[in-house]
Amino acid sequence: MLIATLICSDEACAEETEVVTPDLAALDVAACACGCTLVVLGVSDWTEARLPAVRALAAAA
């Protein structure tokens, strides 16, 4: 997965948003709520954190 930071191309708006996407092609059609296109400021690779397996502890009786 990728996290992309985008900004509106309209200087009067300049709204920033983050989009989580599996590929960069999805960003080609991204649009701001004001109707202008969004410009990519940066992209980061993201992987979901996985917790280590928890071992069941035997209760000492």
Q: Which range marks the domain in which residue 22 is found? A: 2-45
**Cβ contact 40:8 at 8 Å:** no
For residue 61, being part of any structural domain is answered with: no
Q: What 3-state DSSP class applies to 1?
A: coil
Check residues 48 and 1 and name the one with the higher pLDDT. Answer: 1
Burial 11-33 (b: 16+ CB within 10 A, else e): eeeeeeeeeeeeeeeebeeeebe
Number of domains in the chain: 1
Region 28-56: mean pLDDT is 84
**Cβ contact 27:40 at 8 Å:** yes
**Residues 12-39: tens digit of each pLDDT:** 998 999 999 888 888 888 899 999 999 9
Interior angle at CA 4, CA 26 and CA 38, nearest 5: 65
Percent of the chain with pLDDT over 70: 85
